[in-house]
Amino acid sequence: MQNENLVQISFFNQLMLVHPRKKQNERSEASVQVSEYFVNAEGTGDKVNLSDLLGTVEKTSGASNKTKKQLRNLQSSKETLELPLNKQQTEKIQRGIAYEKTTAEVSCWKNIILQNQKAEQMVFPLNQESSGPKRVEQVVAGWKVQTPLEQEIFRLLHGSRQPVNDPVLTPVEEQSLKAMSLEEAKIRRAELQKARALQSYYEAKAKREKKIKSKKYHKVQNKAKRKDFLKQFDEMVKTNPEGALEELKKMELSRMEERMSLKHQNSGKWAKSKAIMAKYDDSARKAMQEQLQMNKDLTQKMVVPSDDEHESIEEGLETVPDFVNDPETVIDPVNPWMRGQLTHEEPEVSCVTAEEVQTAEEENEEEEIIGEFERKRKLRQADEEDLIPTEEERKKTQEEDEDEEEDVSEFNTLFRLMRSEKTREGSNQTRGGLNTAGEEDEEGLLSEGQIRVRSIEDLEVLDEVVEPRAIEEPSAPQTAAAEATSEPPHKKKREINLKEVLTKEAKAVRLPFLPTVVDEEERDEQISIIKEAFAGDDVISDFIKDKSRQEAAGRPAVVDLTLPGWGEWGGVGLKPPRWKRKRFRIKTAPPPPRQDQKLPDVIISEKRTASVASHQVSQLPFPFQNTAQFESSIRTPIGSTWNTQTVVKNMTKPKVVTKLGAIIEPMVKEDFIKSKTTAAGGKGAAIMLGENRRAKEGTKRTKILALTELPTA
Amino acid sequence: MAAVTPEVLTSTHVEKMKKKKLPKRYWEETEKTDQSQRRPEEEQGKAGQNQNKSTVKEKSLKRKNGESLEKKDPFPGEAPIPQKQLQKFQRGKKCKVPAGARERLKEAIAISEAMSEHAQKQAARYDLLLPEDAGFLEGDEDEDTNTISQADIADAVDITSGSKYFNLHLSQFGPYRLDYSRTGRNLLVGGKKGHVACIDWQTKDLKCEMNVMETVNDVNSLCTLRSASRWLHTEAMFAVAQKRWLYIYDSKGVELHCVKKFNDVLRMQFLPYHFLLATASATGFLQYLDVSIGKEVAAICTKMGRLDVMAQNPHNAVIHLGHPNGTVSLWSPNQKESLVKMLCHRGAVRSLAVDKTGTYMVTSGLDRKLKVYDIRAFKPLHSCFLPAGASCLSLSQRGLLSAATGEIVQVYQNVLGSNPVSKPYMAHRLRGQIWGLAYCPFEDVLGIGHGEGFTSMIVPGAGEPNFDALDTNPYRSHKQRQEWEVKALLEKVQPELIGLDPGQLSKVDQASFEQRHKEQIEALGFDPLAKDKFKPRTKKKGRSSAGAIEKRKRKVAHEDQRDEIRQSVQERTEREKELKEKSNEKKLGNKSTLDRFRK
């Protein structure tokens, strides 16, 4: 046998030599006989038996007794292992289990969903908390000490008499706080509105003026502006040196530009043409001269600010505002705006005479008002800023002194500005000193009730107010005249003279009392008379005929299907036989009894009104079982004609209310579970001090959307 | 120790929330004893539930006992509403929840019931805002109120009320018909010979006056004049039925429209909530004009001859017409035939009036009878005989009936009821024949148009003392009027909803599908569910010749019918088969086929 094998293999090798491309890998299977030439496949069919292993286990000392025992048990047992279930079945079982789990998980939503379905109104987003800070009382209301640690803490707190609810605001306080803020907001809004309006007016005005093409106009305008500017600058030098410096810089810049450019050098096209004409034309000459003058003016060097001004600047940089040293005269203790000198200008405005109003204010009234608002706002801001830092400053060191200085200097400049304006406005009130402050205040107090006069129109109005009597007297004839005119135009034709009618007394009529009502029994004669009168038309019989006709029309007609001549003789005057009539005349069911069946003198139409039907409900809506239920459920009208306002609102409130702009997030499991637990625990919400519960717990969100993806086993 | 501290804490927090201090009352002291007795009992009841809480409460109580007891309202809860008031606002019957009802049904019923009850209660509470009472006239002992003259009344009452009795002597263009505006401020008078005047009768301010230069039938504030005129929904317009056509004027007498579709109008009625002007013409036509859009809504040929007696039922906006053959017919714009026809008099019907609630109708005829009908049941309640017969009838808001008998106006009280009248409440004699009678809304005034002009008569207790300011406000300003007009137009009731039962809309339509389908076909003019007729496709190469088409048509012809027949035949054969089998079984009994070999 081995020889045979050998022969085979040698043959095989030869074959391999013939086809050397394929390379034979050496096989390394375990076999009893190992030969270097061939693979012995003798033991391949044999299985490794447990008994084989056991023998070696018994021999090896390393194996534990336990495993030995188990192996022995295995050997002795004759039961076969159960087949594992096939794939379909295992999957089915798994699905079943998964279904049960998910139903359990999802069914906890059932209640809340039902509840929301039933709810009269849903407000989204859910769990809205009132904005703004809460009172500690509110926060602590539902608090219960639960853990021993908490108990310990509270005991300690209580023992040390720590004020637990000290910083609590009373509701009144809270309200007042809110009210303040609201008021302020309103005022501010109103101011803003006004400012905006004025600005728009101003812009419109500027636009209009800009559009004007007249060169002369612009020239005049520019001149006036320049003059004005110079005047202002002079004042500014005194009052606001910094600003003046800036202005100066600007001027310098413009001078530089002028020197650089050829604008007014009489070298342009226009200037050359004018130069030709200058010989003959006086005006051309003048124009050229003007140009040159302009150039001169512009290129002139500005006067260097003197030492005094430097001083004034230094004064301006004082650390403390001037008026701080003034004795504060409290005018109105309640109103903060009445405190300090800053507010003095207001009463002054009211005192300005009409002429001044005309001249000074007409032009830059709007600017002033806008400026005023801005100033006020700045002041308020400054106030607020001041308030906050004062507290902080106590704690902090002197590092911030510089900043403070800046602040104060700002304040100073502002104050200066106000002052300057004051002087400009009220030229008659140059005193402005500290001594007269009291007087001014008095004036202010007095003039507070007066009407502010700002324009001529206002003045006119004032006049009217002053002299109402004078107008009233002539009013009577006027109204009379108006009456005369209000009468209709075709006066000639008029038949009714109302005045005559009304002034005349109506004649009193004495009533002779006949027996106006006669009993039914006494009327027999009358009946006979009437019968005579209406002998021709028998009303009653007519009516009866009419009624019978109507009834007949209402009855369903008999359907006659008899065909004459079938199965019998045909011809004129022959009636179909009885059997035929019985069989082929179809009677339909009689209609329900007429409404007027028992009313002999009434015909009620039995026609259905189809017009209303299109507006009626034709099918009974869902939860109702019969029409009576549904009809009674809608019997109460909703409209405000029949109901009080509250009821109408209640009845027509929307099913879902959403907050504008708020994100409506899907419901989270914790939301309702929490609410449930708290509802069980007692009233009031459990407190979560400053923490977002969702964020803290960090649990995954199970959304209602998951409902759609239920596995169905 | 651990148990004590939380209690104290809760007390500090919870107490503040719970107990608001009530303002002191004068009865506080008397209540004290009561409180102290009752409190502990309550406490015990709660004790079982929450021991902590109860102890806290007791503690607080003790403290309170020491200082002052908690006060309690002696009239706790809402103020009770009298049953009578509640009944006034009852709307329909309550629906009981059936025994085996589903949960959803129970809830639906419960919610709707709760809502309607709430509405009813609130309405009853607000009834308190209708404080005014109607006036009345009372004579001395043995003095009939009908003998009291108008002059005496005018003298007795205050000046403003007294000024409401006045006469306008207009003998030239009489006799006059009249109409008051819905608010009762303005009066429209139309003389037969063309004189139309519009007056604010309280201030006696003449708004406009003109002569239309032809006979006036009726006036309507939107009213008419060949012998008639009407105020329309506002004071801004009125309608005048002139000799040939219907004219609409504005309050200054400017002619706005001449409606030539409406010819020979004799009487007009304005339905304020539908913005419909109903006109009855000499040619027997009843026409409806929608004033808000200026369209004719319906024109019905009544076939009853000249229509010169007309009234409206304010309850359901049905028009009542009186006819020369003694019948009164009821009409809605939705039906070409009369809704109801009732034989009221043996002679012609002279006048008609329907009361505000739509319950009673009063008629008078040439047979000189005055009849009161219950028009819910169409049954006569009582009738009486007036020797002169009543040419004009009018019912006031409070149910006073005025009847014009010749030159005398009689006012009857308590006519609307089962007991017959015996004597008039008031009477007033005038100069000329009476042509028009109208009560002024919200005023105790009866306006009488007659041959010699117009008389305004004081009738105490005629007008409704409480007005609905959102509906008809006699004192409304210009702005309010504008606002009302917009609202009224928005709430305009469509003419389709006019019918005998105004609550028809809130009922379920129980007509069958076939009936509805038939109605739909009638309304549309075609059958929306009908199948399209077979149209053979055009084919080329000579296959669309007339003969071919006809052939193809025949293939498809009567397909439906054939189907039906086929089905019925199949059914029949099946049935027969079954019958046969059954009969066979019966015949054979339990015999098998092999039984025949038996002996």
Is A487 in the B-facing interface, judged by CB distances under 8 Å?
Answer: yes
Two tokens at A84?
Answer: 């594992």
Section B141-168 average pLDDT: 90
pLDDT in the model for residue A421: 52
What's the number of CA atoms in the CB half-sphere (13 Å) around residue B434? 29
Least confident of A77-81, A644-648, B373-377: A77-81
Whole-number Å distance between alpha carbons of A339 and A330: 6
Residues forming beta bridges with residue B167, ordered by sequence position: B455
The three-state secondary structure class of B341 is strand
- Chain B environment of A605 (Cβ under 8 Å): 335, 337-340
Predicted local confidence at residue A527, as pLDDT? 65
3-state secondary structure of A345: helix
Mean pLDDT of B105-126: 91
B595 CA: distance to closest CA in chain A (Å): 45
| DSSP-based three-state secondary structure for B143 | coil
Contacts of A159 (CB under 8 A, 6+ apart): none
What is the arithmetic mean of pLDDT over A450-470?
42
Q: Least CB-CB distance to A530: which of B347, B386, B408?
A: B347
Judged by CB atoms closer than 8 Å, whether chains meet at B6 and A602 is answered as no
pLDDT band at A3 (very low <50, low <70, confident <90, very high): low
| Pairwise CB contact (< 8 Å): B13 & A651 | no
Residue A321, preceding bond cis, omega within 30 degrees? no
3-state secondary structure of B384: strand
Decide: B165 and B155 in contact? Cβ < 8 Å: no
Q: Is A701 on the interface with B (CB under 8 A)?
A: no
Residue A650 forms contact with B (CB below 8 Å):
yes
Q: Kindly report which listed range (A531-540, B226-235, B502-511) carries the lowest average pLDDT score.
A: B226-235
User: pLDDT (tens digit, 9 = 90+) per residue, B460-492?
Assistant: 999 999 988 888 889 988 899 888 888 888 999
pLDDT value at A544 more than 50: yes
Model confidence band, residue A44 (pLDDT cutoffs 50, 70, 90): low
Q: What is the mean pLDDT of chain A?
A: 67
Q: Find the radius of gyration of the CA atoms of chain A.
A: 56
Which pLDDT score, from 0 to 100, does residue A413 have? Answer: 54
Contact status of A485 with chain B (Cβ, < 8 Å): no
pLDDT in tens, A245-287: 888 888 888 888 888 888 888 888 888 888 888 888 888 888 8
| Interface-testing mutation among B7, B49, B116, with chain A (most A C-beta atoms within 10 A) | B116
Q: Give the DSSP letter of residue B379.
A: E
User: Hey, CA dihedral for A389, A393, A397, A398, is it positive or negative?
Assistant: positive
pLDDT, position A81: 80
The pLDDT tens digits for A623-640 are: 899 999 999 999 999 988
> Across chain B, what does the average pLDDT equal?
83
Strand A656-658 and strand B195-200: pairing? Answer: unpaired
Between CA A59 and CA A52 the distance in angstroms is 11
pLDDT at A369 over 80: no
Provide the token pair at A673: 């579970």
What pLDDT score does A695 carry?
40
Is 70 exceeded by the pLDDT of residue A661? yes
More confident call, A377 vs A83: A83
- pLDDT higher at A128 or B128: B128
Instruction: Give me the pLDDT at residue B342, please.
Output: 93
pLDDT tens readout for residues B124-149: 998 888 888 888 888 888 888 888 99
Main-chain phi, psi angles of B273, to 5 degrees? -85, -15
CB < 8 Å to A643, chain B? 119, 122-123
Closest residue by Cα to residue B42 from B70, B66, B20, B17: B70
Cβ under 8 Å to B: A residues 111-170: 118, 120, 137, 140-141, 143-145, 148, 151, 154-155, 158, 164-165
Cβ within 8 Å, pair A508-B166: no
Q: Is B521 on the interface with A (CB under 8 A)?
A: no
pLDDT score recorded for residue B296: 94
pLDDT band with cut points at 50, 70 and 90 for residue A156: confident
Q: How many CA atoms are closer than 13 Å to the CA of B66, on its beta-carbon side?
A: 5
B 373-412 near A (Cβ less than 8 A):
378-379, 383-388, 405, 408, 410
Which range among A653-657, B257-261, B540-544 shows the weakest confidence by mean pLDDT?
Answer: B540-544
Q: Closest by alpha carbon to B232, among B192, B291, B191, B186?
A: B291
Query: Which three-class secondary structure string do you get for B539-597?
Result: CCCCCCCHHHHHHHHHHHCCHHHHHHHHHHHHHHHHHHHHHHHHHHHHHHCCCCHHHHH
Nearest CA-CA distance, residue B466 and chain A, Å: 15
Please report which residue ranges of A278-361 form alpha helices under DSSP H. 282-299, 307-316, 345-351, 354-356
**Residue B128: enclosing H or E segment and its boundaries?**
none
Helix (H) or strand (E) holding A507: none
pLDDT of A183 reads: 79
Note the helical H segments in A396-455: 401-425, 437-447
Contact criterion met (CB < 8 Å) for A625 and B343: no
Q: What is the mean pLDDT of residues A221-229?
A: 90
B19 interface with A at CB cutoff 8 Å: no
Count of beta carbons in the 10 Å neighbourhood of residue A704: 14
Nearest beta carbon to residue A506 from set B146, B166, B170: B166
Residues A424-452: tens digit of each pLDDT: 544 444 444 444 444 444 444 433 444 44
Query: What's residue B347's pLDDT?
Result: 86
**Model-level ipTM above the cut of 0.85:** no
**What does the alpha-carbon distance between residue A645 and residue A217 come to, in Å, rounded to a whole number?**
64
| Run of H or E residues at B265 | strand B265-271
CA distance B191 to B435: 10
- To the nearest whole Å, the CA of B549 is away from the closest chain A CA by 35
The lowest-confidence range among A304-318, A578-592, A678-692 is A678-692
User: Residues B17-41: pLDDT tens digits?
Assistant: 445 555 655 555 444 444 444 444 4
Nearest-angstrom CA–CA distance, B207 and B249: 12
d(CA B416, CA B8): 73
In Å, how far is B361's CA from the nearest CA of chain A? 14
pTM of the model: 0.57
Sign of the four-CA dihedral A26, A32, A37, A40: negative
Question: Vertex A216, ends A210 and A220: CA angle to 5°?
Answer: 80
B residues 232..291 contacting A (CB < 8 A) = 252-253
Average pLDDT over residues A317-332: 42
The 3-state secondary structure of A139-174, one letter per residue: HHHCCCCCCHHHHHHHHHHHHCCCCCCCCCCCHHHH
Backbone angles phi, psi at A505, to 5 degrees: -85, 140
User: Which runs of consecutive H residues, i.e. helices, occur in B127-167?
Assistant: 150-156, 159-162
Q: What is the pLDDT of residues B168-222, one digit of tens each?
A: 999 888 789 999 988 888 899 999 999 999 999 999 999 899 998 888 887 776 5
Which position has the higher pLDDT, A52 or A130?
Answer: A52
What percent of chain A has pLDDT above 70? 50
